[in-house]
Structure 1
Amino acid sequence: MNLALKEAGVKPRLAAKRQLFSLSGVHFINDLMTTGLVPALLPLYKQAFDLNYTQAGLILFVSMLTSSVAQPVFGVLSDKYPNAWFMPMGICLCGFGLTASGFAPVYWLLLLCVAVSGIGSGIFHPEAMRGAYMAAGTARGTAQAIIQVGGNFGQAAGPLVLPLFLIATGLHGLGWFAIAALAGLLLVFLVMPWYQRSLEMNKKRQKLIQGRNHVTGLILLTLVVILRSWTQIGVAGFLPFLYLHQGFSLKDGELLTFLFLAAGAVGTFIGGRVSDQISRKWLLFISMAVTIPFAWLLPHVHGVLSIIVLFFFGFFVLSSFAVTVVYGQMMFPKNIGLVSGLMVGFGIGAGGIGATLIGWLSDQYGIYTIFGLFGILPMLAAVLTLFLPSERSLTAKEA
């Protein structure tokens, strides 16, 4: 919803609610099989292949490189050749790679399987984000919140699946996720007729957009997303190791990681809804600034207080997730796939690559040292947010 509609008091409305929720369901399945399960599986992969922390971080690095960092490339292709068939292709590769990783006999084949799964996710995302854009109507923040909350809950469900299922079955239990991939395919095929019709209408709309892209703004916004994702993915990946160090069981550690990620999903939804009513720039700044004290407190609290801190940490760090996608689309209104690849893919993946550095720091200085780093990253992100262009200056481009 643009600034003019906000000032006119027009209530945000979705254009295609049913299709949007279907896309959110597919996003849940996709992210469950990549960014949800891969970080959660690190302790099992580490034990099965006798890995050190650096090697475990490399698994996450490969997943993020293929699923996220490469997304802008798929986004550019999606902008030039938009095609609904990218979504089922992505889900198939994603499911195959994950299930095969449970049967990999050696470490390098494990990395290859993780890479195939990641490529599938990278293909899926830009086209799915275009679907959210076309289904949004005047409620763009809400539309992104709905589709992104599906992905966020997929990430959150990964750590939950581990204690409920995979700890008992071992890595071979990943074979059952072929059923999840089939469910994702079914949802995609239900959406495709609407999607193909909407693509033709969207092509005409894109031709009416005027104005130049705001390159500097998008670069700064991408840096903010990288810092935010380095914080979120680093905590999600290494929180079980912190709690193991404090004497918790792996099951308890994964359940607490689920709490952190589920709180982020709630924050994503609420933040997206609120962004249709207030400035996206200042909502982004507030979310980063409020995250800082909870990040500093996390490794120093215990008991019920640690649960409270963990929840609010997850809530605020991801409350700007949908906001940054819409904000980026406003800066590059003719390049929805590219922006989605940057905001949902490259920004997150580049932050996730930091997991390799985090693993190395953990080997060298201990797990508590790297958790101190997570208090600095959102502080830097909050400062960068102050230099982003105002929403008012971007509205004319989408008129």
Structure 2
Amino acid sequence: MNVAVHTLGTKRQLGAKRQLVSLSLTHFLNDVMTTGLVPALLPLYKTAFHLSYLQAGVILFVSMITSSVSQPVFGLMTDKHPKTWFLPIGICLTGFGLTASGFAPAYWILLLLVGLSGIGSGIFHPEAMRGAYMAAGTARGTAQAIFQVGGNFGQACGPLLLPLFLIATGLHGLGWFAFATLAAFVLVCSVMPWYKKSLIKNKAHQAEIRGKNHPGGLILLTIVVIFRSWTQIGVAGFLPFLYLNQGISLKNGDLMTFLFLAAGAVGTFLGGRFSDRISHKWLIFFSMVVTIPFAWLLPHVHGIWSIIVLFIFGLFVLSSFAVTVVYGQLMFPKNIGLVSGLMVGFGIGAGGIGATLIGWLSDQYGVYAVFNLFVFLPLFAAIITLFLPSEKSLREAE
């Protein structure tokens, strides 16, 4: 009897892991088409529509803000009544918005389509992260790391696609992403039967969850995520412009952006794995503190040192990515969708606001001067982290 129960439990765990990998792959495709490609496309959009740095920053702002505002809203909507069909609807809107933006006849239509893609991403993320949460078991940090590394690697691959084929094809090459949308749709449909069954089981478990919400701690954590996001999005969006000003080609500049974001994907996975063993609070603090010197070095180094500094910068700045999601869920145990939307949606999407400000500052003072300001953002984040509640105090309040 015990052997049979153990075998059944093992099969369920393997099934959950397979669904988690499928969700991670879907997350990869979703984020390639949003936070991955949109920042990398800014130079092409800028040239095609004859834009200023500020107008280019507005494109990134629209992409991020539509996703950031909609994610916590959709997360709150679905906390009591999850909607499985949000997964395919979200991924289809994301793909359509990006694909159609390659054929936009005017700047305002481009903004509309980029915004539609952002809303699709906002619909997709809360439900997908709820699925990752239900597949986690006791290793929540590792599960979030597996799910989030898909998205972060998608962000990294976006800039890589530019020198591979989009520079040659131009914006019309975005039409090929209709196939990526179809692949994501097939993947997410394969997850839905398991997801529906898991929601039924989780509904009974949710009623048993005890514990108080900690709005003060969640607000501080969201501010930390916003500062981290401004750093990440600012570097990813404007690094090609920095290298163009240094005489480095757009192709090589986008390869460097890929390196930065790929290092972030590695950091996301490692941070999530470590968070199952060590304090969430101090892991976040350590990641922000270590980021500071590399943020300062980035605009001042060249050659092989640029590669080394950029990789370590990306590794540490995003090593707290999955951790902040799990930490936020611990602070708001009955509102997984809302927390997921805040940590990945609002927090990261607020980077679009930072991108607009960075674009304006770049017009006024130049890109190089702006990169010297990035050192202050992880510094502010590290200071705020010191005031976060410890996990021990959160668990004692349950």
| TM-score scaled by length of structure 1 | 0.95
Equivalent in the alignment of 2:302: 302
In structure 1, the residue corresponding to 2:333 is in which secondary structure? coil
In structure 1, the residue corresponding to 2:372 is in which secondary structure? helix
User: Shift of the alpha carbon at 1:110?
Assistant: 0.4
User: Shift of the alpha carbon at 1:261?
Assistant: 0.2
- How many angstroms apart in 2 are the aligned matches of 1:14 and 1:283? 29
Alignment of 1:374-389 (within 5 A): 374-389=374-389
Equivalent in the alignment of 1:115: 115
Q: Deviations over 1:42-64 (max 9, x none)?
A: 00000000000000000000001
Equivalent in the alignment of 2:8: none
Unaligned 5+ runs, structure 1: 1-12
Equivalent in the alignment of 1:176: 176
Equivalent in the alignment of 1:10: none
In structure 1, the residue corresponding to 2:388 is in which secondary structure? coil
Q: Deviations over 1:201-221 (max 9, x none)?
A: 111111111121001000000
Moved more, 329-338 or 348-357: 348-357
Does the 8 Å CA contact 1:15/1:137 hold for their aligned counterparts?
no
Moved more, 143-152 or 71-80: 71-80
**Are positions 1:215 and 2:215 aligned together?**
yes
Equivalent in the alignment of 1:3: none
- How many angstroms apart in 1 are the aligned matches of 2:214 and 2:62? 31
Equivalent in the alignment of 2:42: 42
User: Shift of the alpha carbon at 1:77?
Assistant: 0.9
Write the letter of the residue equivalent to 2:191: V
Equivalenced residues, count: 386
Does the 8 Å CA contact 1:135/1:143 hold for their aligned counterparts?
yes
- How many angstroms apart in 1 are the aligned matches of 2:69 and 2:157? 23
Equivalent in the alignment of 2:124: 124
Q: Deviations over 1:329-372 (max 9, x none)?
A: 00000000000000000011112211000000000011111111
Write the letter of the residue equivalent to 1:187: L
User: Shift of the alpha carbon at 1:301?
Assistant: 0.3
In structure 1, the residue corresponding to 2:350 is in which secondary structure? helix
- How many angstroms apart in 2 are the aligned matches of 1:196 and 1:323? 26
Does the 8 Å CA contact 2:67/2:121 hold for their aligned counterparts?
yes
The percent of aligned pairs where both chains have the same amino acid is 78
User: Shift of the alpha carbon at 1:179?
Assistant: 0.3
Equivalent in the alignment of 2:146: 146
- How many angstroms apart in 2 are the aligned matches of 1:47 and 1:351? 23
Q: After the TM superposition, list the runs of 4 or more consecutive aligned residues in structure 1 that deviate by more than 4 angstroms.
A: none
Alignment of 1:24-39 (within 5 A): 24-39=24-39
Equivalent in the alignment of 2:270: 270
Write the letter of the residue equivalent to 1:248: I
Alignment of 1:1-399 (within 5 A): 16-396=16-396
Q: Deviations over 1:305-341 (max 9, x none)?
A: 1100000000000000000000000000000000000
User: Shift of the alpha carbon at 1:15?
Assistant: 7.6
Q: Deviations over 1:58-90 (max 9, x none)?
A: 000000111123211011112132011101000
- How many angstroms apart in 1 are the aligned matches of 2:213 and 2:333? 7
User: Shift of the alpha carbon at 1:395?
Assistant: 2.0
In structure 2, the residue corresponding to 1:70 is in which secondary structure? helix
Does the 8 Å CA contact 1:293/1:375 hold for their aligned counterparts?
yes
In structure 2, the residue corresponding to 1:173 is in which secondary structure? helix
- How many angstroms apart in 2 are the aligned matches of 1:394 and 1:196? 30
Write the letter of the residue equivalent to 1:302: H
Does the 8 Å CA contact 1:69/1:347 hold for their aligned counterparts?
no
- How many angstroms apart in 2 are the aligned matches of 1:196 and 1:136? 16
In structure 2, the residue corresponding to 1:373 is in which secondary structure? coil
| TM-score scaled by length of structure 2 | 0.96
Q: Deviations over 1:118-161 (max 9, x none)?
A: 11000000000000100000100000000000000100000000
Unaligned 5+ runs, structure 2: 1-12
In 2 relative to 1, CA 207–396 (structure 1 residues): closer, same or farther, beyond 3 Å?
A: farther
Does the 8 Å CA contact 2:62/2:352 hold for their aligned counterparts?
no
For the aligned residues, what is the CA RMSD?
1.0
- How many angstroms apart in 2 are the aligned matches of 1:345 and 1:369? 29
Q: Deviations over 1:28-53 (max 9, x none)?
A: 00000000000000000000000000
Equivalent in the alignment of 1:5: none
Q: Deviations over 1:180-218 (max 9, x none)?
A: 000001110111111000001111111111121001000
In 2 relative to 1, CA 198–391 (structure 1 residues): closer, same or farther, beyond 3 Å?
A: same
Equivalent in the alignment of 2:4: none
Does the 8 Å CA contact 1:14/1:135 hold for their aligned counterparts?
no
In 2 relative to 1, CA 14–318 (structure 1 residues): closer, same or farther, beyond 3 Å?
A: farther
Equivalent in the alignment of 2:7: none
User: Shift of the alpha carbon at 1:396?
Assistant: 4.2
In structure 2, the residue corresponding to 1:16 is in which secondary structure? helix
User: Shift of the alpha carbon at 1:290?
Assistant: 0.3
